[in-house]
């Protein structure tokens, strides 16, 4: 926008929200500049020919928050692993900040280090992620890999453990924690490197109500600090709180809707089709009847 002495020209009508001045960056449905991720017609099969993703395309702009929605086995976790460069599509292409995400590019130490610094993944199953002898070691691992000083590492660990409310678990063994505690430690470990992009696989699963509410607040605060968030979830009640956009996957592994979260969570026909809500008879008081409803994970 011009800020010169002359009168500003009248605003040009736009069908899309224009970016607001920072800070804080405003949510937008259209990519500004280079997208964080450009996913172009990717397909992926596991060994044995098991199809997980079929011709999926979308872009994610910096500072967007996007939910990935779909029933069990539709491909959400697979997609997050591909976005994290842990596996690669059989066909199609993924770019991260304009660079193709390929074994060859990730073999480049400079690109790989930068990519790992900028992207953090929280796995659906915390046991897959946690490997250190203590919670403190787990959270310190990423910052130490970045080559931060011990003082900085200590400060980061203290901050993220407090942020996730797990300070008192610092000396405990990660594998000997409860499911929800593990999840919170896994999120703390991912945040410890201060990534630009947070990939979250079922972040609310296993969390008690207070921890869920705290995580919603935390994700909103991270958005306000300019982070990009991609979260796979079954929890429809949280979608609008943490994302302005949602992508819905069908049971045949295709992206069948990509729209504002507010529209997606109100599209009953789409949610029924994608097996995100279901329609079965049940009782309110003495009155038995049927209407569609969802179940949080
Ligand atoms: N390691 C694997 N080997 C073979 N097939 C796999 C493997 N992991 C996942 N799959 C299959 O790939 C498909 C997509 O799985 P994925 O875990 O991505 O689904 P999801 O959407 O995350 O499901 P959920 O909601 O249950 O977490 C499923 O059919 C699944 O059975
Ligand atoms: Mg999954």
Tell me: the pLDDT tens digits for 165-183?
A: 999 999 999 999 999 999 9
Please give the pLDDT value at position 3: 37
Please give the pLDDT value at position 23: 39
Taking CA atoms only, the protein residue closest to ligand 1 atom 24 is 72
Please give the pLDDT value at position 276: 93
Q: Which atom of ligand 1 lies nearest, measured to the CA of 68?
A: 21
Mean pLDDT of 193-210: 94
Please give the pLDDT value at position 235: 87
pLDDT at residue 290 above 80?
Answer: no
Give this prediction's pTM: 0.86
Taking CA atoms only, the protein residue closest to ligand 1 atom 19 is 73
- Residue 72 CB–ligand 1 contact under 6 Å: yes
Please give the pLDDT value at position 291: 57
DSSP annotation string for 210-255 = HHHHHHHHHHHHHHHTT-EEEEE-S-HHHHHHH-SEEEEE-TTS-E
Please give the pLDDT value at position 287: 54
Q: What is the CA radius of gyration of the chain?
A: 21
Which chain residues have CB less than 5 Å from ligand 2, an ion?
Answer: 76-77, 124
203 Cα–ligand 2 center, Å: 11
- Residue 73 CB–ligand 1 contact under 6 Å: yes
Taking CA atoms only, the protein residue closest to ligand 1 atom 28 is 73
263 Cα–ligand 2 center, Å: 23
Alpha-carbon distance of 53 to 32, in angstroms, equals: 27
More confident position, 10 or 239: 239
pLDDT at residue 106 above 50?
Answer: yes
β-pair type (119-122, 197-201): parallel
């Amino acid at each position: 926008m011009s800020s010169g002495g002359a009168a500003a020209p009248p605003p040009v009508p736009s069908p899309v929200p224009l970016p607001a001045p920072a800070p804080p960056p405003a949510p937008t449905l259209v990519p500004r500049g280079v997208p964080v991720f450009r996913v172009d017609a990717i397909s992926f099969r596991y060994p044995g020919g098991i199809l997980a993703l079929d011709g999926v395309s979308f872009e994610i702009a910096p500072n967007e928050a996007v939910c990935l929605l779909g029933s069990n086995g539709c491909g959400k976790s697979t997609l997050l692993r591909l976005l994290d460069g842990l596996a690669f599509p059989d066909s199609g292409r993924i770019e991260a900040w304009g660079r193709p995400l390929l074994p060859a590019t990730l073999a480049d130490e400079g690109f790989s280090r930068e990519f790992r610094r900028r992207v953090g993944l929280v796995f659906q199953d915390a046991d897959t992620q946690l490997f250190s002898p203590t919670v403190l070691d787990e959270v310190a691992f990423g910052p130490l890999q970045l080559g931060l000083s011990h003082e900085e590492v200590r400060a980061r660990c203290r901050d993220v453990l407090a942020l996730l409310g797990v300070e008192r678990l610092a000396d405990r063994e990660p594998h000997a924690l409860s499911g929800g505690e593990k999840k919170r430690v896994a999120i703390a470990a991912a945040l410890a490197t201060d990534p630009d992009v947070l990939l979250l696989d079922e972040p609310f699963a296993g969390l008690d109500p207070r921890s869920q509410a705290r995580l919603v607040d935390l994700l909103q605060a991270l958005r306000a600090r300019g982070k990009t968030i991609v979260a796979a979830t079954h929890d429809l009640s949280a979608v609008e709180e943490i994302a302005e956009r949602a992508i819905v996957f069908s049971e045949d592994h295709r992206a069948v809707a990509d729209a504002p979260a507010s529209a997606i969570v109100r599209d009953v026909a789409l949610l029924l089709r994608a097996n995100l809500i279901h329609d079965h008879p049940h009782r309110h008081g003495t009155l038995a009847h049927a209407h569609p409803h969802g179940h949080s994970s």
